[in-house]
Amino acid sequence: MTLIAFIRHGPTAWNAAKRLQGHTDVALSEAGRKVVANWRPPAALAGAAWFVSPLLRCVETAQWLGVRQPQFEPRLMEMSWGQWEGRTIADLRAADPAGMEDIEAMGLDFCAPGGESPRMVQDRVMPFLRERAASGVTTGAVTHKGLIRAIYSLATGWPLLGKPPDKMNWESAHLFRLDADGTPHVEQLCVPLDGNGKGAD
């Protein structure tokens, strides 16, 4: 089985405002840069091949992590929020409470107008996972919350309804093992980005 680790990008101004980013190319905020300035890859990723979403917030995060010459991988981009990018979930719920309730109850098939569903994201990223599994090379990926949640769903069977079985710390690395066909399994969640690779107790 092949080890792969996913790290979410550092905070942006849109994160702070709870605005949906999706494919909108938002840079790290000044506060976000201060957060990632102390991040280091876990020891388990020594010698890993690195892949990065081409969106600026991930590219900047990879630079702060000390990742050199990563491969830009469009399949690691965030889930597209289509017409909702730049808006907040709170505003959308206020504007159409019944409609949003119906859409949010769709779980893996939740989809903004003109956007992607988590299931579509899974379909997009699975070929990448299969390629990494075939390589047998330990892999690090700097990516997005929506994509990591989609992979976590594949690994656990969580249908993206209600709370996930595990609490996810988004300022840490999440490690998975890939079967030969690319199917992910949870190896270790919430590994601190202090460079020592030790998980939380």
* Whether pTM exceeds 0.85: yes
DSSP letters spanning 76-129: GSPPP-GGGTTSBHHHHHHH-HHHHHHHHTTGGG---TTS--HHHHHHHHHHHH
142-183 residue pLDDT tens = 999 999 999 999 999 999 999 999 999 999 999 999 999 999
| Whole-number pLDDT of residue 195 | 61
| Whole-number pLDDT of residue 194 | 83
Residue 100 pLDDT > 90, yes or no? yes
CATH entry 3.40.50.1240 includes domain 2-192: yes
Residue 198 pLDDT > 60, yes or no? no
Percent of the chain, pLDDT > 90? Answer: 95
Where do the domains of the chain lie? 2-192
| Whole-number pLDDT of residue 196 | 55
